[in-house]
Structure 1
Amino acid sequence: MTEQSAGGQPGGDGVVRALAALGGIGVAAAILLVGALHVVAADRVDPVRRTISEYALGADAWMFDVGVVALALGSVAVILALTRADVLRPRSGATVLLGIWAVGMLTVVVFEKTNWSIGPSLGGYIHRYASLVAFLALPLGALLLARAQRGVPGVLAHRVWTRVLALASLGWFLPILWGFAMRPVTGRSWWNAVPLGLVERGLALTEVLLVAVLALWAAHAAGSRSRTPAPGLPAPARA
């Protein structure tokens, strides 16, 4: 069975739905566990100034690790679901960028954020840049996916929500760019010039919701009897 025809074969839609559901479970686990950290570690981490990764340096680090790993694995499931549903081409820029997002999320768990009470570390720098690349890769990949699906019947709502959340995700980088631009004026480090913790939490929540929207798109494609394949893919074989 070819990858292109998998979504159209008997039972193929069930696989897509299962993968989309796994993606949803990953999103829910991430929201619940990381959200709970804002309660159990409220006296240790300032959510306005401190980044989410700060939770990984405390006694409840396992909640951060499990939540982020669940999100990464859920994202992989969503990528597979979109591919099997013929929404996403297996070999495309969108697929590569979405894959980079998932790998980036796993990387931030493997390499902890720098503990500045000890000093900078190689792992801390890897963590920082992996998270930056991941947070950029997801919205860019989602925008490419939405663009590739232009003109496909029945996906307008999915395209709109995908584009809105992807653009909103990129919009969260504007305060950071402003912090960089104002350094000569304020004389402050960029992370002190903006409420970095608040900005990162807004960015993270927006991108988690974007993964959820992509999971819903895959589930909808699986349930559509008249699903149209992604541009450049042959029509799925009829049963």
Structure 2
Amino acid sequence: MSSVETIRPAPAAPRQGRGAGPWAAAAIACFGLSVVTALVLHVTQAAAVDPVRQVISDYALSAGAGGFAVCVLTLAAGTGFLLAGLARAGLPVTRPVVALAGCWGAGLTLCAFFPTIPTGAPMTLSAEVHRYAGLVLFVSLPAAAGLLARGAVNHPVHHGLAARLQRSTDWAWAALTVFLLSQLPVLLAPAHAFDGPLFQGLAERLVLVVYLVLLGEPALAVLRSGRKSC
């Protein structure tokens, strides 16, 4: 007795990246607003903040305090949007990646609400919170990017992103090392004032440029892949 086998078509594989594009676009918009705000602060507060000697947090001590808050809070918001886009694109957004990215965002938020003090001035509670929040955020982002890069190596669409992200992560650690070294003259000064040559402001701006690449590369990759899948 023969039987007729019914051949059923295999279910279609889910389209990767569905729904990720809008999240990536929102992240890019936030990052762009942060950069524009920083540039406006650089121009409008040039007389109050020396970009070579003084760090970006010093804008909070000038008439640009509101702009500084917008600059860092939009970075934090954009990171949240980016995580959502990466997850929807099928990238390995693991718990450690989320935790480290959360530390980056929390550090930025604390820095917005707890201002620093002028270089060499006596420490305050707000300045202590700002200092440790800054240390956490500077370490957290490249650590998160490194984990994401290692997890994305075998991704069918974003394996190229993994290599680019790993290179940018290496540059981020190198830039962060330069920035930390630039802080030594102030930290090791015998008095609460230092009048020697400083380049910590320039070093910090270099770090943040590299960090923007760390954030922008995956956002653009997800946005492009989402358009191709449409």
Q: Is the pair's TM-score, using the shorter chain for normalization, greater than 0.5?
A: yes
TM-score (norm: length of structure 2): 0.81
Secondary structure of the equivalent of 1:120? coil
Which of 184, 202, 206 is equivalent to 2:206? 202
| Deviation per residue, 1:142-165 (Å, 9 max, x gap) | 011110112223323311221122
Secondary structure of the equivalent of 1:49? coil
Instruction: Please say if 1:173 is aligned against 2:184.
Output: no
Tell me, yes or no, if the aligned pair for 1:100 and 1:137 is still in contact at 8 Å.
Answer: yes
Give me the CA root mean square deviation.
Answer: 3.2
**What does residue range 112-123 of structure 1 map to in structure 2 within 5 Å?**
112-115=115-118, 119-123=122-126
The 1:49–1:63 alpha-carbon spacing in structure 2 relative to 1, beyond 3 Å, is same
The 1:209–1:148 alpha-carbon spacing in structure 2 relative to 1, beyond 3 Å, is same
Instruction: Please say if 1:74 is aligned against 2:78.
Output: yes
**What does residue range 15-26 of structure 1 map to in structure 2 within 5 Å?**
15-26=19-30
Q: Read off the aligned partner of 1:145 and give its amino acid letter.
A: L
Which of 34, 39, 43 is equivalent to 1:35? 39
Cα separation, 2, equivalents of 1:9 and 1:103: 37
TM-score (norm: length of structure 1): 0.78
Secondary structure of the equivalent of 1:152? coil
Cα separation, 2, equivalents of 1:84 and 1:134: 25
Cα separation, 2, equivalents of 1:62 and 1:132: 22
Cα separation, 2, equivalents of 1:49 and 1:34: 16
| Deviation per residue, 1:160-195 (Å, 9 max, x gap) | 221122211111122245457899x99899996751
Instruction: Please say if 1:95 is aligned against 2:93.
Output: no
| Deviation per residue, 1:86-110 (Å, 9 max, x gap) | 2033x42122111211121111101
Tell me, yes or no, if the aligned pair for 2:116 and 2:126 is still in contact at 8 Å.
Answer: yes
The 1:179–1:34 alpha-carbon spacing in structure 2 relative to 1, beyond 3 Å, is closer
Cα separation, 2, equivalents of 1:177 and 1:49: 14
**What does residue range 57-68 of structure 1 map to in structure 2 within 5 Å?**
57-68=61-72
Gaps of 5+ in 1: 1-7, 226-239
Q: Which residue is equivalent to 1:110?
A: 113
Cα separation, 2, equivalents of 1:164 and 1:12: 25
The 1:168–1:55 alpha-carbon spacing in structure 2 relative to 1, beyond 3 Å, is same
Cα separation, 2, equivalents of 1:191 and 1:79: 42
Cα separation, 1, equivalents of 2:18 and 2:156: 22
Cα separation, 2, equivalents of 1:85 and 1:22: 15
Deviation above 6 Å: which 4+ runs of structure 1?
A: 8-12, 180-183, 185-191
Secondary structure of the equivalent of 1:81? helix
The 1:109–1:11 alpha-carbon spacing in structure 2 relative to 1, beyond 3 Å, is farther
Tell me, yes or no, if the aligned pair for 1:94 and 1:144 is still in contact at 8 Å.
Answer: yes
